Chains A and B, each alone.
Chain A
Amino acid sequence: MSDTAPARTGWLARLKAGLAKTTAKLSDGIAQVFVRRRLDARAIEELEEALIAADLGPATAQRLAGGLARLKFDRDVTVDEVRTALAEDVAAILTPVARPLVPDPARKPHVILVVGVNGSGKTTTIGKLAHHFRVGGAKVLLAAGDTFRAAAAEQLKIWGERSGAHVVAREPGADAAALAFDALEQARRDGADVLLIDTAGRLHNKSDLMAELAKLVRVIRKLDATAPHDCLLVLDATIGQNAHQQVETFRELVQVTGLVVTKLDGTAKGGVLVALADRFKLPVHAIGVGETIDDLKPFDAHSFARSLMGLDR
């Protein structure tokens, strides 16, 4: 890399200025790299960096850029060609994980446990999901399993009102596992189709809090050995490489079955998802694109990939 210093006025400097000046969005990065040029070693490296800037992580970025290099090395390429080719590669990784969340109507109720680190969007996502299932004609019950955070139950109750779902809540500090157990009993009594269980945000590296969650699962299994039927990990799109540790730990300790990515209405593109899909193969059920009840969208691998590459904007 010692030869980059004299090249200051070349592509590198332009890319750098571009990245520093603009919002460092991937599309801009790629545009800077490939106005129209030969796909040589340096171009590949710069491309790799543009992918990194979208949170794909150094390893995945290298692999994708390298893949492109194998196909098109030393050929003249345009921005759009490069974007499209990369978007296709990314979509190929994401397509197998783009699967909607469909409650099993035979289960009464289909139990969905929602977990994740603090502030990722669990409670809001539950509100949106409740609405979505209600619109589909299901009877939905919500369990306010976050008995720790101030006003967490009140927050969920408002989402219950908005979505027309009943909410089971207890006083602050109550045992979340016992609450979930009662909620499941009530859901059965009421003949609810779906039970969504909210949980307190917790960092995956806190073993006692993770043990609490594992206990909740054990307790509800006393009523229904197959529950929870889905365990959703909610990830914030602004997150960087730490998402790897989150998925790894939550999956191991509470058998996460799928992901929801929130806050994709911001400038963060959630690029880490590509590496996650490749590594864990967990379905991505939905994405959050705002704070209102309708702001939950199905995860579409192609449009996600194209938006990641700055296409279709």
Chain B
Amino acid sequence: MFESLTSKLGEVFDRLRRRGALSEADVTEALRAVRVALLEADVALPVVKDFIDAVRTKAVGQEVLRSVTPGQMVVKIVHDHLVQVLGSTAAAIDLKTSPPAPVLMVGLQGSGKTTTTAKLARRLKQRERKKVLMASLDVARPAAQHQLAVLGEQSEVATLPIVPGEPPLAIARRAMTTARLEGYDVVMLDTAGRLHIDDALMAEVTAVRDAVNPVETLLVADAMTGQDAVNVAKAFAGRVGISGIVLTRVDGDARGGAALSMRAVTGQPIKLIGTGEKLDALEDFHPDRIAGRILGMGDVVGLVEKAAETIEREEAEKLAAKMQAGTFDLDDMANQLRQLRKMGGLGGVMGMLPGIGKLKQQMAGANIDDKVIRQQEAIISSMTKKERRNVNLLNASRRKRIAAGSGTSVQLVNRLIKQYQDMSRMMKQVQKLGKSGLMRAGLKGLFGGGGGPGFGGPGFGGPGFGGGQR
């Protein structure tokens, strides 16, 4: 449904096809596509308008470089401006105060405050060796305080003992006193979810703010938020005052326009992003990655880094050794398939790619999806150990048995075997390139560059994608 902006602009400029400076007409035409892309990405309308105006001013009259198309030129200007608005440098959590430093977490219901509280506490403890105390001021949601206590155990961060019936303000004060007495560096205050239009609850959190005077007040917001993001961010910034934003569920496939909306209307930086339910799934915010995603150009940097991060070293080395010895077998292939699936599946990987529109079509055409991967895993698991080690054993009757056992067809079994053979051939080729070359080849294989192993081809196992989700 979302065509890549680059290809959309390509269409616009194919019609114009002209070199020299970008004219007002060119730019206006191009910005129409940019506008739709931003709206589809959930950037709030008033923010879109300001953004377009600013880009128009920047773009008109710019010389189009010889080596690029006007479409690429506009994308570059749009992208750069987007990065600039999102905040060109990563803003760190600032705890500079005499300890204990209070950090207040606020936001709508279900945005991810409690989880993010624990994630941040864990990070401060592990990375900065801070002594952190967490306290839940949520007396509204059933089992909210218990939830934070469990997360405290999981992350080995202390939580303030629960006193049933104690109101939020009193809990906050007790947390600060305890922290002072027991020598904590940081006090993380998780609060109940509240609507920005709920006067009583907004007053409650304002009172907490006044009592503890937080060094950081973080607005926790969902990356999937639509146009309402501006209202929410404005209200929290105006009423409570915020020092930064945490964007959660960036591990989803929402385009994340809310990031731009909230940043633009509050002027506050996005400090962190949540990328999963697990407590280690908290990352620094990189404007360029979100910019690419909002524009629908794919998160190239993110993809490469994710791939690099999640390669399990040992796994990669084992694989390299196996290839050296020529013993890459179907068990190894099953392993690769499993890891690919763990990475978020093809959908997850594809979502991060540039030109997603085209790729998705290709994918649909080749009928490649996670179902296929699961089918392939089933086929391999229906083989005997011996067969998995030596494909040559797989004669017609064995293939029939495997097809029946895995609930697939002989055709699919044949296809898998062919893939395995292509894959081991390719692996022999990349063997010479060493480990880094191996990864590159894996990516290329995975994404099916022209002529190379395409979708459904041998590239699927891109050596060593791993990393769990939960």
List the interface of chain A (C-beta within 8 A of B). Answer: 1-2, 16, 19-20, 23-25, 49, 52-55, 57-58, 117-121, 127, 148-151, 154-155, 157-159, 172, 201, 203-211, 236, 238-242, 244-245, 263, 265-269, 271-272, 291
Q: Which residues from A are CB-within-8-Å of B144? A: 151, 155
> Which of B35-43, B312-320, B395-403 makes up part of the contact surface?
B35-43
Please choose the segment from B108-116, B406-414, B427-435, B447-455 that sits at the chain A interface, where 4 or more of its residues have CB less than 8 A away: B108-116
Cross-chain contact of A242 among B32, B255, B341 (Cβ < 8 A):
B255
- B58 interfacial by beta-carbon distance below 8 Å: no
Q: Cβ of A150 and Cβ of B348 under 8 Å apart?
A: no
**CB < 8 Å neighbour of A208 from B42, B143, B197, B341:** B341
Q: A52-B227, A291-B141 are in contact. Are A265 and B195 (CB under 8 A)?
A: yes
Contact indicator per residue, chain B 1-35, by CB within 8 Å of chain A (1) or not (0):
10000000000000000000000110010011000
Q: Are A1 and B28 in contact (CB under 8 A)?
A: yes
Most buried by B among A25, A157, A207: A207
27 A-B residue pairings within 8 Å (CB atoms): A1-B32, A19-B49, A23-B231, A24-B227, A53-B44, A54-B227, A55-B227, A58-B39, A117-B252, A118-B277, A119-B109, A119-B111, A121-B109, A148-B277, A149-B147, A151-B146, A205-B253, A206-B469, A236-B110, A239-B224, A240-B225, A241-B41, A241-B42, A241-B254, A265-B195, A266-B196, A267-B232
**Chain B contacts of A159 at CB under 8 A?**
142
Residues of B within 8 A of A (CB): 1, 24-25, 28, 31-32, 36, 39-42, 44-46, 49, 108-112, 140-144, 146-151, 154, 195-197, 222, 224-232, 234, 249, 251-255, 257-258, 277, 341-342, 344-348, 351, 370, 373-374, 469-470
Q: How far is the CA of A209 from the CA of B150 in the complex (A)?
A: 22
Instruction: State which of B32, B142, B348 has its C-beta within 8 Å of the C-beta of A155.
Output: B142
If A20-B46, A24-B44, A52-B39 touch, whether A272 touches B226 (CB-CB below 8 Å) is yes
A211 touches B374 (CB 8 A): yes
Q: Is the CB of B108 within 8 A of A266?
A: yes
Given contacts A206-B469, A240-B254, contact A24 B150 (CB under 8 A): no
- Whether the pair A238, B45 counts as a contact (CB closer than 8 A) is no
Q: What separation, in Å, do the CA atoms of A204 and B370 have in the docked complex?
A: 12
Q: Which chain B residue shows the least CB distance to A245?
A: B253
List residues of chain A with CB within 8 A of the CB of B49.
Answer: 16, 19
Contact in complex: B255, A241 (CB < 8 Å): yes
Give the one of B110, B230, B342 with max A CB within 10 A.
B110
Interchain CB contact under 8 A, B147 and A240: no
One of B110, B140, B344 near A206 (C-beta < 8 A): B344
In the complex the two chains form, is A242's CB within 8 Å of B277's CB?
no
Known: A2-B24, A239-B225, A242-B252. A207 touches B348 (CB 8 A): yes
**Given A203-B252, A240-B227, CB of A154 within 8 Å of CB of B108:** no
Q: A24-B46, A150-B150 are in contact. Are A244 and B1 (CB under 8 A)?
A: yes
Q: Which residues of B contact A151 (CB under 8 A)?
A: 143-144, 146-147, 149-150
Contact B197–A266 (Cβ < 8 Å): yes
A238 contacts which chain B residues (CB < 8 A)? 108, 222, 225-226, 228-229, 232
Taking CB atoms, residues of chain A closer than 8 Å to B40 are 57-58, 241
In whole Å, how far is B59's beta carbon from the nearest beta carbon of chain A?
A: 13
Q: A211-B370, A268-B227 are in contact. List 8 more A-B contacts (CB 8 A).
A: A2-B25, A16-B49, A23-B231, A119-B110, A155-B144, A158-B142, A158-B143, A245-B254
A149 to B118, CA, bound (A): 13
A219 nearest CB across to chain B (Å): 16
CB neighbours of A245 from chain B (8 A): 253-254
CA of A52 to CA of B148, assembled, Å: 38
Q: Choose among B142, B374, B469 the residue with the greatest number of A CB atoms under 10 Å from its CB.
A: B142
A294 and B149 CA atoms in complex are apart in Å by 29
Q: Tell me the smallest distance from the CB of B425 to a CB of chain A, in Å.
A: 28
Q: In the docked arrangement, what's the CA distance between A146 and B198, Å? A: 29
Whole-angstrom CA separation of A91 from B149 in the bound complex: 46
B249→A203 contact, CB < 8 A:
yes
User: Once the chains bind, are A267 and B197 in contact (CB under 8 Å)?
Assistant: yes
CA distance A244 to B40 in the complex (A): 11
- Collect the chain B residues with CB atoms within 8 Å of residue A57's CB: 39-40
Q: With a CB–CB cut-off of 8 A, which chain B residues contact A54? A: 227
Q: How far is the CA of A172 from the CA of B143 in the complex (A)?
A: 15
Q: Which of A204, A236, A272 has the most CB of B within 10 A?
A: A236
A24 touches B141 (CB 8 A): no
Q: A1, A172, A207: which contacts B370 (Cβ < 8 A)?
A: A207
Name the B residues within 8 Å of A121 (CB-CB): 109-110
Given contacts A117-B249, A207-B341, are A240 and B258 in contact (CB under 8 A)?
A: yes
Once the chains bind, are A24 and B45 in contact (CB under 8 Å)? yes
